[in-house]
Amino acid sequence: MSEQMVNGHAVSRLTVHIVWSTKYRYSVLRGDIQKDCRKILIQICDLEGINILKGVVSKDPVHIHIEYRPSQNISTIVKKLKGHSSRKLQEKFPELRNRYWGRHFWAIVFRCWSIGNITDKMVNEYLEHHRKSTNDNDNFILE
């Protein structure tokens, strides 16, 4: 885990915990769909220069703790994560198109918390607790 992101114009340490769910809270993130969702999210973050500090892809919600640059904003990051993953998952798994008419795979809403008064350790312990609170087979760790 890096302490600061440095470029020619800024030194920063911006982290956020983001949570979003599938539309209608259907528990469809299982098996190959879950594995591919994990791969896609990691690819998007790599392409966007976003560091995944910790994350969990469970059968419904996705929890992700990331570090991002000051030139990025949370809404755009979430839009890319949800939009690209939705499109790619529905292309690969046609059964998702049948369940989610209109191609809306993720719920519109997302929740996020900037990490300020709490430590990264506290967030990571929360994510670890969330992972262990459900069957380990139903979660896929992002890292």
- Which are the contacts of 143, defined by CB distance < 8 A and separation ≥ 6? 52, 54, 55
Percent with pLDDT over 90 in the chain:
55
Q: Is residue 137 part of a domain?
A: no
Q: Which residue has the higher pLDDT, 124 or 17?
A: 17
Cα 140 from chain centre: 11
Rounded average pLDDT over 41-57? 96
pLDDT of residue 121: 84
Does 100 map to a domain?
yes
Residue 134 resides in a domain: no
64 Cβ partners below 8 Å, 6+ apart? 17, 18, 19, 41, 52, 54, 55, 56, 81, 142
Q: Is 135 a member of any domain?
A: no
Q: Is 138 a residue whose pLDDT tops 80? A: no
Among residues 83, 82, 92, 91, the alpha carbon closest in space to that of 62 is found at 82
Tens-place pLDDT, residues 65-79: 999 999 999 999 999
Answer whether 107's CB lies under 8 Å from 25's CB: yes
- pTM for the complete prediction? 0.79
Quote the distance between the C-alpha of residue 53 and its chain's center. Answer: 11
**Total domains present in the chain:** 1
| 116 against 40, higher pLDDT | 40
What is the pLDDT at residue 6?
72
Would 129 be classed as within a structural domain?
no
- pLDDT tier, 111 (very low <50, low <70, confident <90, very high otherwise): very high
- Tell me which DSSP letter residue 120 carries: H
Q: Is residue 130 part of a domain?
A: no
Q: How confident is the model at residue 1 (pLDDT cuts 50, 70, 90)?
A: very low
User: What is the CATH number for 57?
Assistant: 3.30.70.1290
136 within a domain of the structure (yes/no): no
Residue 140 lies in a domain: no
Are the beta carbons of 124 and 64 closer than 8 angstroms? Answer: no
Provide the domain limits for residue 110: 5-124
